[in-house]
Structure 1
Amino acid sequence: MTNHVKRYGPIGIGAILLTAAIIGWTQLQNPHEEQGHIEVFGNVDVRQVNLGFKVSGRLAEVIVDEGDQVIAGDVVAKLEPVDYGNEVKLAEARVARSQAALNVLLAGARPQEIAQAEAMLAEAEAALKVAETTLSRQEYLAERNIASHQAHEEAEARRGAAIAKRSAAAEGLELARIGPRAEDIDQARSVLAAEQAALALAEQRVADTILTAPNDGVILTRVREPGAIIVAGETIYTLTLTSPVWVRAYIEEPDLDLIYAGMDADVRTDSGHAYTGQIGFISPVAEFTPKTVETRSLRTSLVYRVRIIVDDPKQRLKQGMPVTVLINPDRSD
């Protein structure tokens, strides 16, 4: 110590101690900042999707296995489609029936039907003439007491019936010429639309017997085997998505003003691989330091969750892998 005092002198030693104190205070103020970068630790977060059918049925075929890589749209499993195919046939028959009923109304009465109505009217008019002639004769005879009054009354009743029949025949002919009511046509169109909607649903159920991958990824688990009875929504596969890949990390409050969404970041693994990333999300809510951080002095500190989107074209990053994130802070303010 005596030699150091002689070499530097009391003033030099004081300056060295002051410099060391300043450096130590700076590191305490921001222990995660290293060589101008903010250093945080996190874990790779890869999203997973449980794949299942929208309809129930018997599992007919499983096409991929654990570890297989799939592309969005690839068929991965199938259900037996027979029952749903029969539903489609039934719905198609109902649509055809409703369409035929509507066509009948739109076409109106056929010429033969109008001719038949005209013939019925002519027959009714002829019957009315006969009834009127008979009534006149009975009136003449009744006035001279040649025929009974009962015969006269019967003749009057027959004429009334003939008049009513003629009126009904005339109205039938008029309806045949006018055609169906607009309300009947609208009702037939509504029935047809309902049957067409039922057909679309049946066809969609047939399509839902084929399970496809919604995203690019790797099959993590295969849960069911062919022949199993599957209910709607039951998991058949678990798919690990290959994109996007995120890193979930936490940043302390003193560093919060130095970062923003969209800022570039470097992501490094323990094996030495480096990846480019970008801050995609900064939580607006403070949290306590996660329990995975075992340092006693940091356990009660408030931190903010940060999500870094990582470019991983070779798909080396795996779920839960620990990584180090280096962020170049923004000191423009």
Structure 2
Amino acid sequence: MAAGGLFWRATRPIPVRTAAPASNIEVRVFGIGTVEAQVLSKVGFQIGGKVVALAADQGDRVAAGALLAKLDDAAQRAKVMKTQAAERQAAANLARSQAQQARAQISYQQKKLVSERRQALAGRGSVSQEQADDAQTSEGLAGSDVRVAAADAGVAAALRDDAAAQLQIENVVLAQHELRSPFEARVIARHKELGSVANAGEAVFTLIEPQSIWVRAYIDEALAGGLEIGQTVFVRLRSEPDRTFEAGIVRIDQENDRLTEERRVYVRCRGCDPRHQIRILGEQAEVEIVKRVIPSGIFAPLKFVTGYDGRFGTVWLLENGRLARLRVEFGERLLDGRLQLVSPLPQGSALVVDSRTDLREGRAAYAMQASGS
């Protein structure tokens, strides 16, 4: 009788949990990255000098063209004043040359008229030929004076233009004593303080364009298939682990990292305020990329699959009231460890997702409860 009881207990139908079809399942890819800025500039002066003014510090937001810092410009201002005086002198010389040119022209016209009259009178015998020749010579000399005066005026005009160009150069150099923001920016770092000497080209500030902040994430190339620009991404900062930000893929590098075998993906927040969210460069971030959505399917938790090799594995089925083993093909692997069942199941069968230790092929069983997504 005891033996019969043991036999009945070993052969009686047992309840097992089965997997019910799940719908609208997101296939997500996980990656680790850091907060970076696409537009980052280390700005400094084009010339060297002593810093006498600083108008910004790290964390400040500055408008395009805003003054950031200034060098001692006393010597350069003196050069500008000297060049302004030289330009005024050149302009005065030009005016004098132009007046002399006008005077020479008038003298030439007067002597030309005298020469013409004396030539006519000489023809009638009213004046001597010598007087006519003298008048003609005076006319020629006056014409030469006109050409000399015109040349002097041209030289004076060139000197005036040279002085104006030199003044412009000095003003450009003077403007280079001021450092201004090349775009609307946020100051990440200030590298110089008042009184320090900044060399030409040396960084004084590090600026970023706030709207260009993104997360550079690294995705295992084995999981990177199907990634596309515009896909939705959920970002979690290390400093705010209980909060996620919705973002989107804006760039995918066209070359993988050969050493780590990872693909670089850049994601940018879709609704973040650049003054507050995702603003600390270099902070670690976790990303989950929604690669696609599976409308409907059956998913098996990995712990209920044996011999899984990345594509195939063996599962338990409940088929016509009996347990059976079946090797099936899987597709996507979800972040929670579930595997998408690709192989069609036999008609009337169900996938068993139960951790019972008394499962064996051919044993009678019945579905106790369906396990959803």
- Measured against the shorter chain, the TM-score band is 0.5 to 0.7
Matches within 5 A, 1:129-278: 169-176=138-145, 189-214=157-182, 215-226=184-195, 228-239=196-207, 242-270=210-238, 271-278=241-248
Among 34, 37, 44, the alignment partner of 2:35 is 44
AA of the residue aligned to 1:315: H
Which secondary structure does the structure 2 equivalent of 1:109 belong to?
helix
Q: CA deviation at 1:274?
A: 1.8
More strand per residue: 1 or 2? Answer: 2
Code of the residue aligned with 2:101 in structure 1: it is: A
Which of 266, 283, 286 lines up with 1:307 in the alignment? 266
Tell me what 2:253 maps to: 283
1:91 shift after superposition: 2.5
Q: Which runs of 5+ in 2 are unaligned?
A: 1-6, 20-24, 119-129, 295-373
**1:76 Cα deviation (Å)?**
2.8
- Give the match for residue 281 of structure 2: 319
Equivalents in 2 of 1:7, 1:286: separation in Å? 56
Distance 2:9 2:132 in 1: 142
Is residue 221–residue 239 contact of structure 1 (8 Å, CA) maintained in 2? no
Which one has the bigger helix percentage?
1
Residue 54 of structure 1: CA displacement? 1.9
1:62–1:76 contact (8 Å) kept in structure 2: yes
- CA deviation after TM superposition for structure 1 residue 83, in Å: 1.4
Shift of 1:111: 4.0
SS at match of 1:110: helix
Residue 63 (1) aligns with residue 31 (2): no
Shift of 1:307: 1.3
Percentage of pairs with the same residue: 19
2: distance between equivalents of 1:267 and 1:79? 43
Query: What is residue 77 of structure 1 aligned with on the other side?
Result: 69
State the Cα distance separating 1:284 from its structure 2 match: 0.9
How far, CA to CA, are the matches of 1:185 and 1:247 in structure 2? 66
Count of aligned pairs: 264
Amino acid aligned to 1:252: D
Amino acid at match of 2:163: E
Unaligned runs of 5+ in 1: 20-33, 127-158, 291-301
AA aligned opposite 2:264: R
TM-score (norm 2): 0.56
CA contact 1:68–1:218 (8 Å) conserved in 2: yes
Q: Does 1:54 align with 2:53?
A: no
Code of the aligned partner of 1:288: R
